[in-house]
Structure 1
């Protein structure tokens, strides 16, 4: 049995006394009452203790904490409410108090890849002024008791379908990174069932639809190692210290260590820079570092069933683009999608989902008419920049909003025949 989780818990427990002393020392050398706090020596001791405590602590799940935002020239308070819930996920709505006119509903499906949904805080904030926003808040598998049952890729697809049905047919859905596969699979299943709640549009951002296109180091690793290696080296059981004890999981700390290793030099430089900012008294720069790493270092566990099935189907077998992906024993047919408009977004420097992997969705969905498709390749951004940061706010989000507006106008134009029928007619004439 892989004992990594037990060693991780033990190491955390063993360093607790040292962390306590370090925190106390940091406090002693940073309070204004201590004259040494104004000296280079005192700031150096305080900075070293803070960095030690921050690099050895366990980070709690962050909050969205929007408070209020400016919409149409006035401050509007944001209230979070849970509108749908299941054992492994809850659906959060960001209610904008006092806003009377209706705006399009937007479901953001956050990745279940080790980080919490709050990693998409910037993504949510960019759409709060223009849409009625909902987001999936996935639960840490280590906190879900065994009595709740299992959770795999089939269940993920079921959850997306259930949420879309709950929100209704006038919903637009965005799948960020990993959810691109279950989102497009859920839409295909709904189309095959002629479900009336099929979303009006789906936007897939930096997702691994076809990892044979521009394979990254992550994709190559999965191909080289095979599913047996991942099961042997990445899966462990939750210790008795947590509610989900004995559940097999892929621990968040393993996922985080992989992400950190990919850009280790960048993280080391960032922490070294923070140390210098603290010593020189540059509080603003140090606070930016704290804010980012409070989010980045907060991780959650994934169920082994979901993790292994995703690695096998998406990265090893390429089941979706080959037309071989099954959901509850039925083949997922992407060519069934005709009522839902499609937009894809990629980053030029994405080292997780290479250029072309998300765009492949257009090739796999032939019944969607050209007028209701869009693709955007954002230059000079990596994976994180596809859904967060300056270029997302100034370039990507407005492009998505314009696409959704276009789809909304199309649905309001009652004089036009249903575009699904037009698409099928076009396809039959072409053949």
Structure 2
């Protein structure tokens, strides 16, 4: 019933948004005098903001057309190099990259948003690296016949992607995937796998949520696992390929994130409205672009979501040494040559300071020279991987770390 009720509401809002958009265009038409005086601009701006907020959104595109390196501009190519039911492996590169450019696998969050949330991350790193991205599928679009997808499968996918790319690959895990990426690295290290990462960078990841708990952690801890299963898990309706699949809907995840900072989101839309009234289309467009991406959400499989709540936020299985993959306990001390970089934002309100850094303390088998911690001053969660502070301050730290550890792990072979 939850999903069907949402679909009904979405359909109604879609019609209202269409009419609001038409009204805004009519009132903004330069051929009509009402758009120049009185309440014309105010009403048009209000309708525009409502239409933008209520319009349904599909999966965005990366749309990274070109990159400028050392004053030379190169066209960027995007391709699917490996297709899997629950996620494709994408590759981004340009002709200006040297033959020996490092391979970087960016592991996108599976947390309700599409991989395109990392558009700025990819655009910056493709300047110096051949970038691969995990393009996770929307669970409601995956037929039930494709099977289930849980934390074990997530780790298996990462290992498979690394095998496809080859030895010496560098990995960047943004937020939520820091946990399975660290687990996959430990599994591959224990097996002396030739394709284990040369470096693993974790940014704003919940490795140990007992450190500086945030409101996100508090929500996960306030209710037993059964509450989440009974209250936020829904069944995909008939209108989608994944009909019958049990999922954690993306619209619930979005509602949760919006409610965490409702005041700031309301102020952002108020500012958008004022920009439109004042005729500042450029500032309004910047806000619209952010919310176009932020409000584009997808569903997670129920089994993956519930296991994440249980093991990452409630039981703290990985830092306690109790995390299991395919029936075998994951031993983080097995990581002995993959260089680890932990990056945190000083103002991160999703992953508190110390949660990502915990990985460095847990990898006791790794020499200190192959560990690094970087705290980005005056940076929030999204600023870690997007925006000017990411491009100018954080990305150079990552590039230097990759360059320092360019070779494959010590025991790896090609």
Q: TM-score, normalised to structure 2's length? A: 0.96
Within the candidate set 393, 396, 407, 2:405 is matched to 407
Cα 1:214–1:15 change in 2 (3 A) is closer
2:265 is equivalent to residue 232 of structure 1 = no
Q: Distance in 2 between matches of 1:303 and 1:267?
A: 28
Matched ranges for 1:200-239 at <5 A: 200-239=198-237
State the match for 1:95 in structure 2.
93
Per-residue CA distance 1:145-175 (angstroms, 9 max, x = gap): 1111111111000000000011111100011
Ranges in structure 1 where 5+ consecutive residues have no aligned partner: 413-417, 422-431
Ranges in structure 2 where 5+ consecutive residues have no aligned partner: none
| Range that drifts further, 316-325 or 60-69 | 60-69
| Range that drifts further, 70-79 or 179-188 | 70-79
| Range that drifts further, 59-68 or 172-181 | 59-68
- Do 1:198 and 1:339's aligned partners in 2 also have CA atoms closer than 8 Å? no
SS for the counterpart of 1:321 is coil
State the match for 1:185 in structure 2.
183
Q: How far does residue 125 in structure 1 lie from its aligned partner after superposition?
A: 1.5
State the match for 1:296 in structure 2.
294
Per-residue CA distance 1:99-149 (angstroms, 9 max, x = gap): 453310100000000111111111112211111111111111111111111
2:36 is equivalent to residue 38 of structure 1 = yes
Q: Distance in 1 between matches of 2:47 and 2:298?
A: 26
State the match for 1:286 in structure 2.
284
State the match for 2:311 in structure 1.
313
State the match for 1:261 in structure 2.
259
Within the candidate set 143, 148, 151, 2:149 is matched to 151
Q: How far does residue 53 in structure 1 lie from its aligned partner after superposition?
A: 1.4
- Do 2:17 and 2:52's aligned partners in 1 also have CA atoms closer than 8 Å? no
State the match for 1:71 in structure 2.
69
Q: How far does residue 297 in structure 1 lie from its aligned partner after superposition?
A: 0.7
Per-residue CA distance 1:365-384 (angstroms, 9 max, x = gap): 11211111111011211211
Within the candidate set 325, 328, 334, 2:326 is matched to 328
2:388 is equivalent to residue 386 of structure 1 = no
Q: How far does residue 197 in structure 1 lie from its aligned partner after superposition?
A: 0.8
SS for the counterpart of 1:174 is strand
Matched ranges for 1:343-358 at <5 A: 343-358=341-356
Instruction: Count the aligned residue pairs.
Output: 412
| Range that drifts further, 17-26 or 151-160 | 17-26
Q: Distance in 1 between matches of 2:289 and 2:12?
A: 27
- Do 1:368 and 1:420's aligned partners in 2 also have CA atoms closer than 8 Å? no
State the match for 2:360 in structure 1.
362
Q: TM-score, normalised to structure 1's length? A: 0.92
